[in-house]
Amino acid sequence: MTRLTDTAPATGTTVAAMSATAVAALLGAALATAAPASAASRPAGTTTATGTTTAAGSGRAAAPNIQLPFPCGQKWRLDTWGHAPALDMVKEPDQTGTLGATVVAPLAGTVKQSFYHANAGNMIQIDHGGGYFTTYLHLQSRAVQVGAKVAAGATIGLVGKSGPTANDHPHLHFELGFDQNGDGSASWGEAGSERVRPTIGGVVYGTANSMTWRNVTSGNTCATPPPTYWVDTHADAPGYATPGGTRTGTLNKGTNYVYCRVWGPNVQVGADYNHWWLKTDLDSGSPTRNQWVSAYYLKRWGNDQAKDNSGRDIPNC
């Protein structure tokens, strides 16, 4: 026995227990009008309508490596319940914040469907090219209309519990679809539709019914942090908006990271001088990010040197 299926795990005390089979049947019945089951699948080793050559034996091109449809760093729970490979998503650790959470595109694409469906509620389908589509059900609201082009990470709507098959439980019902019959969209929402197992952040999900993945972290449009170099500074260093420009704050004496260096105005105290300026984040001031301090404050190195603590030259910006 599992608990509710198309719904996410309950937060409350008691939920109706229902077998996966029973719920799958219920879901299938409820969404029977969502889309017709696909016709016969194409033979392996053929070419799709979009010209993508499919791998023999698989019947389709490799699934794109999409990201979780939530902003970078968020953690979500994924369940197949009785409807693998479809996934129901609720926010970790305890579902708090699921209702109204922002849904973002997991990959760039064009909105194929966006409407209120009698059973699935507010739904969106995005065409990602190559025959692949992602589908979102039970949304609280839809932020994009048919034909809109969306970038990866762009907001498409909010998580909700719209439509009777949401069973009044906030969650995102998510599917990756593949247009097997080449009709330009992927049927969704029921057993036998063109939904397939999604690869999210390099991991294949939706592999079987009654599967749960906890704390799946979104890698959606996460900025790659620039490399940093560790340096020791011998005194509190004034920080500037540009090398030698407007004073913005202070980098405290101690061990600090810097990003890169540029050659600029000389800073000289007695016999010690340095033309290099280091890009860093200050400890105090405004703004603090991406400001500049003189390499004169480096503790270990000589005049006009700008190296990190291990003796590597800090790269030019």
Query: Site size for Zn ion, by CB under 5 A?
Result: 3
88/179 with CB nearer Zn ion: 88
Residue placing its CB nearer to Zn ion in the complex, 104 or 166: 166
Minimum separation from the CB atom of position 255 to Zn ion (A)? 50
Q: Say what the alpha-carbon torsion angle 79, 219, 175, 212 is, to the nearest 10 degrees.
A: -10
Please identify which residue in 2, 4, 6, 60 interacts with Zn ion, judged by CB under 5 A: 6
Among the listed ranges 6-14, 54-62, 249-257, 266-274, the one in contact with Zn ion (CB under 5 A) is: 6-14
Smallest distance from Zn ion to CB 133, Å:
16
Q: Which two tokens stand for residue 173?
A: 């019902």
Please state, in angstroms and rounded to a whole number, the distance separating the CA atoms of residues 186 and 189.
Answer: 10
Q: Please say which residue, 128 or 169, places its beta carbon nearer to Zn ion.
A: 169
Count of residues making up the chain: 317
Q: Which amino acid is at 139?
A: L
Pick one of 20, 38, 63, 88: the residue that binds Zn ion (CB under 5 A): 88
For residues 294 and 278, what is the distance between their CA atoms, to the nearest angstrom?
Answer: 6
Min dist. Cβ of residue 119 to Zn ion (A): 12
CB of 114 to Zn ion, least distance (A): 19
Considering only 54-62, 87-95, 114-122, 125-133, which stretch makes contact with Zn ion by CB under 5 A? 87-95
117 lies in the binding site for Zn ion (CB under 5 A): no
* CA pair distance 234, 37, nearest whole angstrom: 71
Binding mask 157-186 for Zn ion (x = CB under 5 A): ----------------x-------------
Of 216 and 282, the one with the shorter C-beta distance to Zn ion is 216
Provide, rounded to whole angstroms, the least separation between the CB of residue 77 and Zn ion. Answer: 13
In angstroms, give the least distance from the CB of 112 to Zn ion: 19
Judged by the rule CB under 5 A, the positions of this chain that interact with Zn ion are 6, 88, 173
